[in-house]
């Protein structure tokens, strides 16, 4: 009986996802764009059980025990760049992607232009929507965060970061686009490196910022569709000169 | 002696304006764009001396005494649409432009694409930067407002309104663009009619909204350059279909 109930639940989930996908396709009607439904994750970073949360992850056996980073360590090692957890993991930049996929179960998508469909925008802050985006031979981390920078007034912050060095990041331009009901909002910038940390980018306000009212104007039935495109900076500069 | 001091002050003002103009031209390098330096006006709307302020205006002799609007009045008359003052003026929609120019000294500019250069962004809220824009046979009111929607956290709100009816407004699309330091933010929407009032548009959040940190990223030495373009909706729809 339990098996049949679970099967029925899975089928309902699939129908719901398919419906969300159809809605996003309708909003971003450009042919060939990949739509990715991204479910929210309540940020456990500031929760008291953060160590327990990290230790119940798939990598439980591999992770070192939860403790503060040592003062002296290999300068080539970078801390975990996942903005969701205070994860004690450290590793080389080249293995950050596999750590994020395996430990934090963050999806990775291919394609120059994709649509990020964040569901359940009404959930209380702090909440994150995260995917990785593989494009132009590099991997990018897209983070949409709902956060109360000012108490009682949640805002949405969206940014794209290169899983690479700041020098590598300077070679790219990313664009985030919201488009609904004859309103269009576009943000274009150079991605920051994950080494600079998502928290700093958001506290600096150097990203796409939406008030709750504006997010509601762009969202459809609780979901927000964000069109994403990445180009190399040379193309961007050539366009600016035209 | 006083005459020479005033002349010297005027020359200094001219040099300052020329410098601001040059800076805006550098930011928006597209040839042929008209740059308009817009100085801030501290909003007197909520000040206790608002009646005195209205009565010291150029139209002092013409204005009726400061009192609440009568409950019954001609439905073809519209109240003053100037967002700066609680002005008791009422008139037909066709004469709103001349009222705004003559009484409230709001400048009017011609051209399909202009650059609005708002100076002294650091001034405390509430502050407004206002011009009228004549384009495609109609007049538009551009308002940039610094306001504390949440106490202690000023934000900037920018919107464009048609000095016409809501039905006429539906025929147009306006675009506001900020561009500096490899960051670009674009807002496109259908203008609202001035009959809907600026205050409602801003409280709904249906406009370009900037946090102070984002406004600082886009401003240059305390001035914010906003590129403005107006098109008819048909052109906009054709572009969307491409």
CB pairs under 8 A between A and B: 70
Nearest CA in chain B to A184: B188
Contacts of A206 in chain B (CB under 8 A): 183, 213-214, 217
Measured between CA atoms, how close is B184 to chain A, in angstroms? 5
Pairwise CA distance, residues A176 & B83, whole Å: 32
- Asked whether residue B1 is assigned to any structural domain, the reply reads no
Chain B: residues touching A (Cβ < 8 Å): 150, 152-153, 155, 173, 182-190, 204-206, 208-214, 217, 233
A39: left (phi over 0), alpha (psi -120 to 50) or beta: beta
- Long-range Cβ contacts of B198-203 (<8 Å, 24+ apart): B198/B81, B198/B83, B198/B141, B198/B143, B198/B145, B198/B159, B198/B161, B199/B83, B201/B159, B201/B161, B202/B145, B202/B147, B202/B157, B202/B159, B203/B149
CB contact under 8 A, B214 and A209: yes
Residue B49 falls inside a structural domain: no
Residue B206 in domain: yes
Taking the CA of residue A101 and the nearest CA in chain B, the distance in Å comes to 30
Count of structural domains within chain A:
1
Nearest CA in chain B to A203: B213
**A4 part of a folded domain:** no
Print pLDDT tens along chain B (242 aa): 555 656 565 555 555 555 555 555 554 444 456 777 777 776 655 444 333 333 333 333 333 333 334 444 565 677 777 766 667 788 888 888 888 888 888 888 888 788 999 999 999 988 999 999 999 999 999 999 999 988 888 999 999 999 999 999 999 999 999 999 899 999 999 999 988 888 889 888 899 999 999 999 999 999 999 999 999 986 444 444 44
Q: What is the pLDDT of residue B46?
A: 47
- Note whether B187 contacts A189, CB cutoff 8 Å: no
The reported pLDDT for the residue numbered A23 is 52
The verdict on a CB contact (< 8 Å) between A182 and B204 is no
Residue B124 lies in a domain: yes
Q: Nearest 5 degrees, angle CA A190-CA A196-CA A200?
A: 95
Closest alpha carbon to A208 in B211, B42, B105, B172: B211
Structural domain harbouring A219? 31-42+111-232
Q: A98 vs chain B: nearest CA distance in angstroms? A: 30
pLDDT in the model for residue B197: 84
> What DSSP character marks residue B154?
E
- Is there a domain that residue B21 lies in? no
Would you say A172 and A191 are in contact if contact means Cβ atoms under 8 Å apart?
A: yes
Closest-approach residue (CA) in chain A for B177: A186
Residue A175 preceded by cis peptide, ω within 30: no
- What is the distance in angstroms between the Cα of A149 and the nearest Cα belonging to chain B? 10
A67-72 contacts, C-beta under 8 A, 24 or more apart: none
The reply to whether A143 falls in a domain is yes
Domain presence at residue B171:
yes
Q: How close A85 comes to chain B (CA, Å)?
A: 26
A155: which chain B residues are within 8 Å (Cβ-Cβ)? 211
Q: Which of A177, A189, A231 would best serve as a mutation to test chain B binding (most B beta carbons within 10 A)? A: A189
Q: Do A186 and B185 touch (CB under 8 A)?
A: yes
Hey, what are A36's tokens? 């990715």
CA angle A19, A24, A25 (to 5 degrees): 95
* Cα nearest neighbour of B153 on chain A: A150
* A149 phi, psi to nearest 5 deg: -70, -40
The per-residue pLDDT for range A70-96, each reduced to its tens digit, is 444 566 677 777 766 667 788 888 888
List phi, psi (to 5°) of B184.
-140, 130
Rama region for B222: left / alpha / beta (φ>0; ψ in -120 to 50; rest) = left
CATH number at residue A224: 2.60.210.10
Instruction: Flag residues of chain A having pLDDT under 70.
Output: 1-33, 42-76, 83-86, 234-242
């Amino acid at each position: 009986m339990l098996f049949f109930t679970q099967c029925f639940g899975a089928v309902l989930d699939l129908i719901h996802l398919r419906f969300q996908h159809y809605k996003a396709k309708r909003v971003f009607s450009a042919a060939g764009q990949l739509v990715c439904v991204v479910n929210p994750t309540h940020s456990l970073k500031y929760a008291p059980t953060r160590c327990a949360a990290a230790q119940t992850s798939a990598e439980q056996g591999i992770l070192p025990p939860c403790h503060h980073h040592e003062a002296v360590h290999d300068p080539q090692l970078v801390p975990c760049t996942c903005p969701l957890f205070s994860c004690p993991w450290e590793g080389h930049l080249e293995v950050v992607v596999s750590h994020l996929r395996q430990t934090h179960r963050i999806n990775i998508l291919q394609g120059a232009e994709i649509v990020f469909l964040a569901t359940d925008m009404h959930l209380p802050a702090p909440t994150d929507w995260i995917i990785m985006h593989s494009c132009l031979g590099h991997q990018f981390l897209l983070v949409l965060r709902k956060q109360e920078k000012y108490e009682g007034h949640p805002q949405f912050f969206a940014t794209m970061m290169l899983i690479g060095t700041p020098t590598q990041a300077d070679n790219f331009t990313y664009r985030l686009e919201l488009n609904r009901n004859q309103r269009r909002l576009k943000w274009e910038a150079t991605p920051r490196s994950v080494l600079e940390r998502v928290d700093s980018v958001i506290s600096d306000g150097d990203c796409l910022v939406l008030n709750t009212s504006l997010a509601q104007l762009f969202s459809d039935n609780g979901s927000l569709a964000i069109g994403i495109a990445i180009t190399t900076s040379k193309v961007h500069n050539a366009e600016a000169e035209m």
